[in-house]
Amino acid sequence: MRLPLFLYSAVLISSPAVSQTIVERFPPQGAIPGVVTRTAYPIANLMGRDMGQTITVGNAGLLTSFEIMLAGVIPTDASPIVTVSLFDGVDGKSLGVGAIPVPQNLSYQNQWYGFDIAGQGIFLNDGQQIFATVEMNQMLRPGLDVAWYGWAAPEGLQYDGGQFLIRNDCEMHSHVAGCGIWFKPTDFQGLSIDMSYRMTIDTSVQPHAVPEPLTWALMITGFGMVGAAARIRHREHAQVNQPI
């Protein structure tokens, strides 16, 4: 018994894809001089404030690394760790988390620092908005800080794929209206600020698609017909070998 040709479509054969990485970042290369201004937002001195940046993804694939730009001065007896958490949108489900040990030679010459996140299996979709939050595990003495660098510009000339948000801790800022809610800060003298990020996406790796109902039906029918054909062949074989 031969199976209909369409049933073989249920068998998927894939070959290894060549890794193809794309770097998405803010600020972009070649920022307009005189328009975009570097701005530091200290992590160490947040005093109960969380902060984050919403980002619109431009390519689908596996997220392999995520970086932010840090600068500052830390004491020799401190070992601060910056934790970056990624979410599927503001207040969305957690996508992954990574720790960045701050080096002792940190300076005010801002540099990229990040972590390898490929093993966490974070698949991003084109147009998806993710939310990156940053916090540090210890407070530093006055005058010493670790700053997450961003860029500020007039409205309309800034990154249009997201925005910088902060949130007040309700335990420390219970008197503040709307504590615990993410909001856009307004203390940048009329400028819009967005924080730096750089992420690498392997576009050759795509999430496994969930079969549609029709595909499931074809697969089940195909498996059933394969089983039926096997039973028929078994019966025919048994009849041929019966003694006369």
Please say if the pLDDT value at position 194 is more than 80. Answer: yes
* Same domain, residue pair 198 and 219: no
Q: Identify the domain containing residue 237 by its residue range.
A: 210-244
Q: What does the mean pLDDT of the chain come to?
A: 78
Confidence check: pLDDT of 202 > 70 = yes
Is the pLDDT at 241 greater than 90? The verdict is no
The answer on 222 and 188 residing in a single domain is: no
Is it the case that residue 204 has pLDDT exceeding 80?
yes
Domain count for the chain: 2
- 197 and 230 share a domain? no
Evaluate whether residue 125 is within a structural domain: yes
pLDDT of residue 158: 78
Is residue 212 over pLDDT 60? no
Considering the domain boundaries, does residue 151 fall inside one? yes
pLDDT in tens, 163-184: 999 887 776 656 666 677 898 8
Indicate whether 61 pLDDT > 70.
yes
Residue 143 has pLDDT above 50, yes or no: yes
Over residues 133-138, mean pLDDT: 85
Q: Indicate if 150 and 186 belong to the same structural domain.
A: yes
> Does residue 162 lie in a domain region?
yes
The predicted pLDDT at position 32 comes to 60
For residue 147, is pLDDT > 70? yes
User: What is the pLDDT confidence band of residue 10, given thresholds at 50, 70 and 90?
Assistant: very low
Asked whether residue 15 is domain-assigned, the answer is: no
Q: What is the mean pLDDT of residues 42-60?
A: 84
In a domain, 43, yes or no: yes
Whether residues 97 and 70 share a domain: the answer is yes
Percentage of residues in the chain with pLDDT exceeding 90? 32
Q: What confidence tier does 96 reach under pLDDT thresholds 50, 70, 90?
A: very high
Domain check: are 220 and 141 in the same one? no
Q: What is the model's pTM? A: 0.74
**3-class secondary structure for the chain?**
CCCCHHHHHHCCCCCCCCCCEEEEEECCCCCCCCCCEEEEEECCCCCCEEEEEEEECCCCEEEEEEEEEEEEECCCCCCCEEEEEEECCCCCCEEEEEEEECCCCCCCCCEEEEEECHHHCCEECCCCEEEEEEEECCCCCCCCEEEEEEEEEECCCCCCCCCEEEEECCCCCCCCCCCCCCECCCCCCCEEEEECEEEEEECCCCCCCCCCHHHHHHHHHHHHHHHHHHHHHHHHHHHHCCCC
Question: What mean pLDDT is predicted for residues 226-243?
Answer: 60
Q: Does the structure show a pLDDT above 50 at 7?
A: no
- Position 5 scores a pLDDT of 42
More confident residue, 193 or 215: 193
What is the model's pLDDT at position 6?
A: 42
Same domain for 176 and 237, yes or no, is no
Question: 142 and 239: one domain?
Answer: no
Is residue 182 domain-shared with residue 110, that is, in the same domain? yes
Domain with 178 in it: what CATH number?
A: 2.60.120
- Is 16 part of any domain? no
Among 11-20, 84-93, 108-117, top mean pLDDT goes to: 84-93
Do 82 and 197 reside in the same domain of the chain? yes
